[in-house]
Amino acid sequence: TEDHAPQTEISKMVVVAKGDHVWYDPGSTGEFDLPIGAVVKQADAGQIVIVTDEGEEKWVPTAEANKLKIMHPSSIDGVEDMIKLGDLHEAGILHNLMMRYNDPKGCNIYTYTGSILVAVNPFQVLDIYDGKVMETYKNCKLGEMPPHIFAIADNAYYFMRRDKSNQAVIISGESGAGKTESTKLILQFLASVSGQHSWIEQQILEANPILEAFGNAKTIRNDNSSRFGKYIDVHFDAQGAIEGARIEQYLLEKSRLARQAKDERNYHVFYRLLAGCSDAEKQKLFLTRAEDYVYLTAGDCITLPGMDDAEEWQRIRGAMKVLMFSEADQWNVFVLLAACLHLGNIEFEGMTINNMDASEISSDRVVRDVCKLLSVDQGELSSALTSRSTFTRGEVIVTQISANDANDVRDAFVKAIYGRVFIWIVAKINTAIYKPSVDGGIQRSIGVLDIFGFENFVINSFEQLCINVAHEQLQFFFN
């Protein structure tokens, strides 16, 4: 601060001068209202002018000078590890992340809080993940190099080998924060650091495009949101080489199959199936365009900018071959996906039978196509969708159901089919990548938990409620 710069007293102990960094608290009481960092532009006897971190100029009368507080020097330029912050509060943490992200010397998206890594999604491709960068983070202790996702992966690998104990990396955050990409980067680093470049490593990495296609979808906040949780356990031998892996999935958001919010999509795989299949394959599956299916148009969003569904479909087919899906396996999956789409187009017409609500299927053609795909009797499927069977005292009582109830039965049937397909796909992947220890040999593991993103919609599904509760428990653990 210049010697001649005027100073204004804020309290008996604190004064501000031109150029000082301060916290400005406007005094709002909203849930997300916090003090914000600012720089004193002018400090006269009557008022103080500050420029906030957001570039907004504010005039603060000296009578309200208690809204300002001197910023600790550690918060001015930002620190790599936030346990070094003198202003260790929510506003200080957010300010530090912003300062690092906007660093003129280069965008720093990673920041430590002790052994926890905080990542800010830049929504752009950064040149900080190639082979040369990987090499610089191998065999480095946490804190020796700038914060990076590779440092977390290397730290887990180092302690697994040194202490001969299993490790785990937990990745948590809001939808769109970059959890899925972080998971892929950790797996890529572990594949590199093991030094084998084996077929099993390639198979583990190829599981990602399949799981993303069947378990990810566009939401309001994220074009590639994981709508399920996965835990990937990577297994290593005594020399630190990858021997195999095992994937556990949980809480797939099946409600998305039947309905999506505005500007959201169903699971990627449906759009990619329709965009990538040949005309001959579509004809066998009785498929046309994505716009023709109720389950794909509820969110009024068919395509995504920057995402080529046809190209992604070829990646899925290639990954399935690497993971030992036979041609018959693949075709059976495609048949079930097509059946789900056709089931969504079945409409019911309400009626009254014996003064009871009943319903019947409006179009036989759609049901006929479904039955051909599923190899079931058309009459039995129609009856299952429009009636309810009750077992009592050894008797079976069949009652008709209303059109609304029939819609619910249809949607539940589709959710059950897709849920079983998803479980089968994960099991099929595990068959290819899981290699049990031979002759009782030593096998260590590094687990990577990619928990799905928490979101707060106007109407939240039961699955979303469970997701948010799980995230709250993780946040308690982190804090």
- Active-site residue, selected from the candidate residues 222, 266, 386, 445: 222
Q: Which amino acid is at 39?
A: V
- Active-site residue, selected from the candidate residues 175, 183, 359, 445: 175
Contacts of 304 (CB under 8 A, 6+ apart): 218, 223, 265
Q: Judge whether 222 counts as a catalytic residue.
A: yes
CA pair distance 83, 89, nearest whole angstrom: 11
Q: Which amino acid is at 456?
A: N
Consecutive H or E run containing 151 = helix 149-163
CA pair distance 74, 76, nearest whole angstrom: 6
Q: Judge whether 11 counts as a catalytic residue.
A: no
Angle at 333 between CA 259 and CA 260, to 5 degrees: 10
CA pair distance 156, 234, nearest whole angstrom: 12
Helices (H) and strands (E) in the chain, counts: 15, 19
Q: Judge whether 176 counts as a catalytic residue.
A: yes
3-class SS at 199?
helix
- Active-site residue, selected from the candidate residues 206, 243, 312, 455: 455
Q: Judge whether 29 counts as a catalytic residue.
A: no
* CA proximity to 465, closest of 456, 476, 475: 456
Q: Judge whether 180 counts as a catalytic residue.
A: yes
CA pair distance 216, 210, nearest whole angstrom: 10
- Active-site residue, selected from the candidate residues 92, 215, 299, 453: 453
3-class SS at 398?
strand
Backbone dihedral angles phi then psi of residue 239, each to the nearest 5 degrees: -90, 0
Q: Judge whether 445 counts as a catalytic residue.
A: no
CA pair distance 230, 448, nearest whole angstrom: 8
Does residue 457 contact residue 246 with C-beta atoms inside 8 Å? no
Q: Which amino acid is at 216?
A: N
Backbone dihedral angles phi then psi of residue 446, each to the nearest 5 degrees: -125, 115
Angle at 32 between CA 31 and CA 33, to 5 degrees: 100
| Residue carrying the six token digits 């572990």 | 190
Tell me how far CA of residue 393 lies from CA of 387, 390, 400, in angstroms.
Answer: 20, 10, 20
- Active-site residue, selected from the candidate residues 172, 226, 266, 359: 226
* CA proximity to 180, closest of 243, 134, 100, 121: 121
| Residue 359, beta-bridge partner list | 350
Instruction: For residue 1, give both structure tokens.
Output: 């601060």
Does residue 160 contact residue 236 with C-beta atoms inside 8 Å? yes
- Active-site residue, selected from the candidate residues 75, 225, 266, 359: 225
- Active-site residue, selected from the candidate residues 8, 96, 180, 386: 180
- Active-site residue, selected from the candidate residues 176, 215, 229, 244: 176
Instruction: For residue 210, give both structure tokens.
Output: 């399949």
CA pair distance 205, 196, nearest whole angstrom: 14
Q: How many CA atoms lie within 13 A of 408 on its CB side?
A: 7
What is the set of active-site residues? 175-176, 180, 222, 225-226, 453, 455
